């Protein structure tokens, strides 16, 4: 049984058919990436998994448990955390307050403290700015904070939506190295990313979405070698 499984998912925005029956799996311990151009349905997929959107048809399973009618806060409690596109931090709260908001469904003070230290180890800059108002952080620091806040829920599956967007190349490399560290520490990752080269460098497998359907799937190495992927996304 896959850790996360999506079956025949159909999602609409009004009359617009955004996801047209997509199906895929994420196994425990994997980094799986969803690739595709703007409007292909990648962010819609993550928002549907995390409960922010309701599918008109299809099923979502977390280790066999249905998710598609579960409220978002309960999905977090079940082990799925969503780091949305554009960071969406609480700009008027401090770094520490933002991180603690990520643990709002938890009732284990010792575990929360341990995970806070884990986040500060992954992102030492956040520890330096612990009491700084989050809205005054740089773009890269805000992305670190958004990922750290997601980790504070102690998720089994971390949904990452465009973590490299708007970042300088040196910070992009740092973020992707950290995603690998997070995965090595036991967190499964479903990654949406426009930087196809970097995504396929760290992912185990991937799916290419085109206008709400899955057009290509395979291991990261298979996708890197695929001529359509090379021409459309890798500049070959």
Confidence band, pLDDT 50/70/90 cuts, at residue 236: low
For the chain, what is the largest distance between any 2 Cα atoms, rounded to a whole number of angstroms? 51
Q: Indicate whether 160 and 233 sit together in one domain.
A: yes
Same domain for 69 and 183, yes or no, is yes
**184 and 211, same structural domain?**
yes
3 and 31 part of one domain: yes
Q: Which of 128, 154, 180 is the last residue of a domain?
A: 154
Q: What is the mean pLDDT of residues 201-206?
A: 98
- The string over 198-230, giving b where at least 16 C-beta atoms fall within 10 Å of a residue's C-beta and e elsewhere, is bbbebbbbbbbbbebebebbeebeebbebeebe
CA distance 48 to 84: 12
Tally the C-alpha atoms within 13 A of residue 163's C-alpha that lie toward its C-beta: 31
pLDDT bin (cut points 50, 70, 90) of residue 234 is confident
Within a domain: residue 41?
yes
**Residue 70 covered by a domain:** yes
**Is residue 17 situated within a structural domain?**
yes
pTM for this prediction: 0.94
SS3 for 75?
helix
Mean pLDDT to the nearest integer, 64-81: 96
Domain co-membership, 2 together with 63: yes
Let me know: does 52 contact 45? Beta carbons within 8 Å.
no
Residues 9-27 have pLDDT tens digits of 999 999 999 999 999 999 9
Is 105 inside a domain boundary?
Answer: yes
Q: How many independent structural domains does the chain possess? A: 2
Q: Name the packing angle between helices 109-122 and 139-151 (round to 10°).
A: 150
135 and 190 fall within a common domain: no
Please indicate, yes or no, whether residues 66 and 168 belong to a single structural domain of this protein: yes
Show the domain range for 169. 1-79+155-236
Q: Are 213 and 21 in contact (CB under 8 A)?
A: yes
d(CA 212, CA 41): 5
CA distances, 74 to each of 77, 191, 211 (Å):
5, 21, 30
Q: Is residue 205 part of a domain?
A: yes
Percentage with pLDDT > 70 across the chain: 100
Q: Which one of 136, 154, 172 terminates a domain? A: 154
Separation CA 96–CA 102 (nearest Å)? 10
Question: The CATH number of the domain where 11 resides is what?
Answer: 3.40.50.300
With respect to residue 84, please indicate whether it lies within any of the assigned structural domains. Answer: no
């Amino acid at each position: 049984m896959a850790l996360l499984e999506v079956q025949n998912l159909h999602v609409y925005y009004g009359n617009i058919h955004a996801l047209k029956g997509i199906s895929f799996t994420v196994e425990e311990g994997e980094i799986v990436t969803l690739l595709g151009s703007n409007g292909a349905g990648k962010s819609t997929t993550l928002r549907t998994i995390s409960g922010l959107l309701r599918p008109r048809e299809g099923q979502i399973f977390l280790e066999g448990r249905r998710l598609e009618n579960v409220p978002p806060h309960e999905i977090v409690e079940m082990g799925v955390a969503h780091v949305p596109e554009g960071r969406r931090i609480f700009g008027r709260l401090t770094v520490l307050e933002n991180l603690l908001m990520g643990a709002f469904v938890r009732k284990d003070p010792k575990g929360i403290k341990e995970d806070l230290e884990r986040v500060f180890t992954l992102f030492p800059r956040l520890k330096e700015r612990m009491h700084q108002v989050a809205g005054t952080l740089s773009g890269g620091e805000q992305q670190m904070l958004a990922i750290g806040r997601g980790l504070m829920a102690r998720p089994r599956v971390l949904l990452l939506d465009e973590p490299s967007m708007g970042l300088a190349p040196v910070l992009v490399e740092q973020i992707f190295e950290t995603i690998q560290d997070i995965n090595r520490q036991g967190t499964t990752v479903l990654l949406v990313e426009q930087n196809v080269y970097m995504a396929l460098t760290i992912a185990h497998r991937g799916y290419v979405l085109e206008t709400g359907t899955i057009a290509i799937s395979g291991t990261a190495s298979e996708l890197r070698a695929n001529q359509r992927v090379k021409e459309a996304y890798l500049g070959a």
